[in-house]
Amino acid sequence: MSNARNHALDLLKFFFILIVVIHHSHIMDGQLIRGYLSVDFFFFVAGYFMCSMAEGGRTTQRYVQRRIYSLYPAYFVAWLILFVAEFATRNLTYKCWYSPILELLMLQNVGIPGGGGINYPLWYISVLMWGGTIIYILKRKLPHWAFNLFGALLVLATYGYLIVMVGGIEYWSSVGGVFYVPLLRGMSDITIGMWIYDCPKMTSVKLADVIQLGSLVMVMAGMCLHNMGDFVVLPLIAVLMWSSTCANTMLDRIGARKPFIGLYQYQYYIYVGHALAIMIWNYVMKLGAFSYLIRWIVLFVLLVVTTLAIKKLTELLRQVLASKWIQSHLRGE
């Protein structure tokens, strides 16, 4: 892959974030039944670029620092707003007194008893942060063959268990009370993303276009059809990811256009904030019977408002943290 920005991956991430929002809103109940698989695509992409950073020599400390710096401010703002909203409506659903502490520490869904938070999209961030760090360390420290062996055992064990014992990927529990499946799922996906990075890159743009668009259509069909299992859609998502790493594909060219480039800066804010938008949307929908079109419009407006609000508040938080007064106190001056 060249050093040029991969606009196809940016475009697909934005598209799949919208799929996640629609899935969680239940606005297409009975139609979009496997929208949660979009998150696996996010993990694949994370693993892909994580492998690039590991092979580029970035230290684990530097990797963790950059992750926290890039992820945490919006993570905190989105959590705080939703916490205040749920507290005000007396609808807090934490399991125990220290659950909010785990969520604040980005340990929401890594298998610690009492985990699980009010801002459900943040489970992906917690797994990406800590599960991803484990994979990153192993990638840097282990010989290539040893990492691939570990990765193969992890992937086979995780998805073997889900296929044989569960029959689906969405399983929010532990194996034997020890191995937390969502964490293993994320780590397995990240490993697959690293393997995709190591795969030979396609050189034929025409072939890449056919595979890319074909796999995207089949992924969407699989998410909407009852007779398409998770374990059929998941390999298709991996193929979509691999074909999208070819430069100058149709999606790459579309994604490089101005209307889309301007949207990419909002992707993360949409994801971490859509739980708040859906919470308000559900409340509005209870006020009366609305047509299908009105339901879509209201959801879209709320998504825009919450995204812009979280982005603005995050920028203000970053400015405060970067102020000389804060920096001097952090240094103990």
DSSP state of 164: I
Distances (CA, A) of 312 to 45, 80, 307, 320: 26, 14, 9, 13
Place 1 in a pLDDT band, splitting at 50, 70 and 90. Answer: very low
For residue 94 the two structure tokens come to 């934490």
User: Does residue 289 carry a pLDDT above 90?
Assistant: no
Per the domain annotation, does 194 fall within a domain? yes
Per the domain annotation, does 168 fall within a domain? yes
Per the domain annotation, does 301 fall within a domain? yes
For residue 76 the two structure tokens come to 């905190």
Per the domain annotation, does 333 fall within a domain? no
Per-residue pLDDT averaged across 109-124, rounded?
92
What is the number of alpha carbons within 13 Å of residue 81 lying toward its C-beta? 22
Per the domain annotation, does 236 fall within a domain? yes
Helix, strand, or coil here: 2?
coil
Per the domain annotation, does 1 fall within a domain? no
Q: Decide the pairing of beta strands 179-180 and 174-175.
A: antiparallel
Q: Give the residue among 280, 289, 312 at the shortest CA–CA distance from 82.
A: 280
What is the number of alpha carbons within 13 Å of residue 97 lying toward its C-beta? 0
H or E stretch covering 174: strand 174-175
Q: Comparing 332 with 241, which gets the higher pLDDT?
A: 241
> Do 184 and 130 meet the contact criterion of CB atoms below 8 Å apart?
no
Place 58 in a pLDDT band, splitting at 50, 70 and 90. Answer: confident
For residue 326 the two structure tokens come to 């804060």
Residue 264 gets the label, from left (phi > 0), alpha (psi -120 to 50) or beta, of alpha
Per the domain annotation, does 298 fall within a domain? yes
Residue span of the structural domain in which 195 resides: 7-322
Number of separate domains in the chain: 1
Place 325 in a pLDDT band, splitting at 50, 70 and 90. Answer: low
pLDDT one-digit tens code per residue, 169-197 = 999 999 988 899 999 999 999 999 999 99
User: Does residue 332 carry a pLDDT above 60?
Assistant: no
180 φ, ψ (degrees, to nearest 5): -80, 120
CB atoms within 10 A of CB 233: 21
User: Does residue 27 carry a pLDDT above 80?
Assistant: yes
Q: Quote the pLDDT of residue 91.
A: 81
Distances (CA, A) of 19 to 33, 34, 76, 224, 288: 11, 9, 23, 11, 25
Q: Quote the pLDDT of residue 327.
A: 61
* 89 CB-near residues (< 8 Å, 6+ apart): none
What are 175's strand-pairing partners?
179
Q: Which stretch of 18-32, 90-104, 256-270 has the lowest confidence by average pLDDT?
A: 90-104
Report the percent of the chain where pLDDT is more than 70: 96
> Do 237 and 211 meet the contact criterion of CB atoms below 8 Å apart?
no
User: Does residue 2 carry a pLDDT above 60?
Assistant: no
Q: Quote the pLDDT of residue 89.
A: 85
Q: Quote the pLDDT of residue 139.
A: 95
Q: Comparing 224 with 2, which gets the higher pLDDT?
A: 224
Question: Which amino acid is present at 318?
Answer: R
Q: Quote the pLDDT of residue 13.
A: 97
> From start to end of the chain, where are the E strands?
174-175, 179-180
What are 180's strand-pairing partners?
174
Q: Give the residue among 264, 258, 265, 274 at the shortest CA–CA distance from 307.
A: 274
Q: Quote the pLDDT of residue 3.
A: 47
Place 11 in a pLDDT band, splitting at 50, 70 and 90. Answer: very high
Q: Give the residue among 137, 136, 113, 144 at the shortest CA–CA distance from 48.
A: 136
Per the domain annotation, does 331 fall within a domain? no
Q: Give the residue among 158, 145, 140, 142 at the shortest CA–CA distance from 43.
A: 158
> Do 5 and 244 meet the contact criterion of CB atoms below 8 Å apart?
no
pLDDT one-digit tens code per residue, 62-89 = 999 999 999 999 999 999 999 999 998 8
